[in-house]
Structure 1
Amino acid sequence: MASSVDVHVRICGQEIIKYDLEIKALIQDIRECPGPQSALLDLNAQVKEKFGQLRLRIQDMEQMSREQDKETDQLIIQKETESQRKQLLSNQTAWRKANLACKMAIDNMEKDELLHTGESSTIRQRKATKVSLVQTSSDITESLMSISRMMAEQVNQSEDSIGTLATSSRTVHETNEEFRNMTGTIHLGRKLILKYNRRELTDKLLIFLALALFLATVLYILKKRLFPFI
């Protein structure tokens, strides 16, 4: 992994940790929120914004993992990304529990206050509380569904990566087999060339001997005819 990528991954990881700590602090504020409902709604809006920023940074880290050249670097960053996703889910659960606890506390406080007010005021406040609770639950449900979609996409991407690695492995194996076959062919060709060279040398030697025998025969015949008494 290049040094520039290392810097980007570290910066991304630091931002993820920052958002995680900010979310935890806001969740604690929700647990301790004494009311009113508007204050709780404001805190939930801040938490929702931080979750959105956190999800974006986790997606950036996931993209960085896919851009790595080394498989070991990919696995390290993917492992960290998966850990941050689990932490995000844990924060979602804590957020929902904190909201429910705060809602119950505010409801109890409002019930005590409503004992000293008229029945119509009590009904209006209860309706407002229910509407707020329904809205908060809807927001949390939407966030959980978004996380589920992210995890499903990660599973599909992991399957694609595994398929790519398997294809690459088969290609390397086939290439090695081709190299082995080529080596055998070259070795056989070398043997044939050496054998051909030896045969060519033998043929030349036989031709030379035949030519010498022929010349000797001719000389012998000429000698007998020209010099019959020698």
Structure 2
Amino acid sequence: RAAGMSTSGDAQATRPPHQPIRRICCIGAGYVGVPSSAVIASKCPDIDVTVVDISAAKVAAWNSDRHPLYEPGLSELISQTRGVNLHFSCDMIGPLEGADLVFICVNTPTKAYGLGQGKAADLTTLEAAARHIVRTASQPKIVVEKSTVPVRAAESICTILRANERPGVRHTVLSNPEFLAEGSAVQDLLRPDRVLIGGERTDEGQEAVQRLVSDGNPRVSQTLEELVRQDARLKEAIADLRCPEACRSQRDLASLESVGRECLREIRRLLRQLDGLLDAVEGDAERARVEREARNCQRSLQASQEAMREAALQRKQALQEAERVDLLRSDGADGGVGEVQGDDGVARRRVRQREETAAAAASHVTQSLLLLSNQLAEQVEASSETANRLLRSSEQLTETGEELKSMTGHISTAKRLLTRLSRRDFTDKVLIFLAFVFFFSTCAYIVKKRTIGVTV
């Protein structure tokens, strides 16, 4: 954990919805900035990434086919995304002004003079980048420090931004250090063993952390945003059902119920989609956050469904009561002029009103049956998906069992080979021992013969 910072896990579980990140500006076209930007552009096609640098020669090299540095897989990523959502530019103002998030990926060499010479990191370029951001940006930015820097470098950036910021423009600083190895930078970014994101211990800082974390998987972010939108639309329909001015007739009631049912179907579909995206979410903390959001949406769905049923029932009863009162009033009016119109006209009106009421009730029953049919279809679809998952899991277990059997056979073969080798080793030792005995016996025999011959 960076000093003065807190990791994304410290953020509160529930926060207001935020706007997704759509434009990123990376300051520094070097070893950290270009691979990071290329991977982001490749994995997030709806995010526009611009890498800026003051070196025109370096930018021109990145815009050509002769890149200034080599990393396995980097050229392929650049060729796929350059000109689409990855750009290289010497313009240090335009891309920065239009960006939602700014990466600082400048060089931080070892100090060549002064205090800490030969040991400490030279932060001159990093501080110059922070000053350029605060002078150029007229809108609040999320500033992410990714360069290789010592502890408390993010606090230095905060100090520079706070001392020079414009009125009403407050930037947020995050720390997202890189853990890249030369020769495997692209793979380290695609399959990181850890991701560290630190933010200021303020509501703005923690919201910025959540924005950066959630945009690691844009499909998940878009699904969560659509869930929020559909939930708001459903709550609006429920509020209209409870409002007499917004629902004055059976037609208005049917229309609002249709909107509510459509929202319920869409929310269920989005929840199933979110459940299918969980496997693609990287990191335990991010997966836990998405699962928590899904559970909250599920609970909200159940509460909204119950509230919609109650509101629709109450509004239906109120409309029926209003129709009954109108019918009684019309009966009274008809009785006053009965001598002119006669009993036949009153009877026909009553029959017509009853038929209209029965037709409205039949329409409501039909709508309810359609809703139940749709719900059953959705449940059947969900059951089918669950059965398919169980089938896939069963196949995987069968394959795992076959692999275990194969491994067991290999182990048994290896055990038999080891037994044979141990037996051969014992036989070799016995033969060597007998050879030594024969050798020493022969030597003793020769010595004995010579000794006897000398004596004679």
The interval holding the TM-score normalised by the smaller chain is 0.5 to 0.7
For the 8 Å contact 1:61–1:77, the answer to whether it is kept is no
Partner Cα separation in structure 2 for residue 194 and residue 60 of structure 1: 64
For the 8 Å contact 1:58–1:84, the answer to whether it is kept is no
Q: How does 1:91-170 map to 2 (within 5 A)?
A: 91-117=308-334, 118-119=345-346, 120-154=348-382, 157-158=385-386
Matched, 1:42 2:242: no
The one of 205, 216, 222 aligned to 1:8: 222
Q: CA deviation at 1:136?
A: 1.9
For the 8 Å contact 2:241–2:315, the answer to whether it is kept is yes
Q: CA deviation at 1:48?
A: 0.2
For the 8 Å contact 1:23–1:50, the answer to whether it is kept is yes
Larger Rg: 1
Q: 1:79 to 1:189 in 2, by over 3 A?
A: farther
Instruction: Give the secondary structure class of the aligned counterpart of 1:61.
Output: helix
Quote the residue 1:65 is aligned against: 275
By percentage of residues, which structure has more helix? 1
Partner Cα separation in structure 2 for residue 177 and residue 77 of structure 1: 42
Matched, 1:56 2:266: yes
TM-score, normalised on structure 2? 0.39
Which segment is superposed worse, 174-183 or 76-85? 174-183
Q: 1:167 to 1:84 in 2, by over 3 A?
A: farther
For the 8 Å contact 2:238–2:260, the answer to whether it is kept is no
Partner Cα separation in structure 1 for residue 386 and residue 310 of structure 2: 26
Q: CA deviation at 1:139?
A: 0.8
Aligned length in residues: 224
Alpha-carbon RMSD: 4.4
Instruction: Give the secondary structure class of the aligned counterpart of 1:68.
Output: helix
For the 8 Å contact 1:32–1:102, the answer to whether it is kept is no
Q: 1:162 to 1:196 in 2, by over 3 A?
A: same
For the 8 Å contact 1:27–1:95, the answer to whether it is kept is yes
Q: CA deviation at 1:24?
A: 0.8
Which segment is superposed worse, 103-112 or 1-10? 1-10
Q: How does 1:203-222 map to 2 (within 5 A)?
A: 203-214=431-442, 217=445
Q: CA deviation at 1:143?
A: 1.0
Partner Cα separation in structure 2 for residue 79 and residue 171 of structure 1: 33
Counterpart residue identity of residue 234, structure 2: D
Q: 1:32 to 1:99 in 2, by over 3 A?
A: farther
Instruction: Give the secondary structure class of the aligned counterpart of 2:278.
Output: coil
Matched, 1:197 2:433: no
Partner Cα separation in structure 1 for residue 373 and residue 313 of structure 2: 14
Partner Cα separation in structure 2 for residue 52 and residue 148 of structure 1: 15
Counterpart residue identity of residue 204, structure 1: I
Counterpart residue identity of residue 233, structure 2: Y
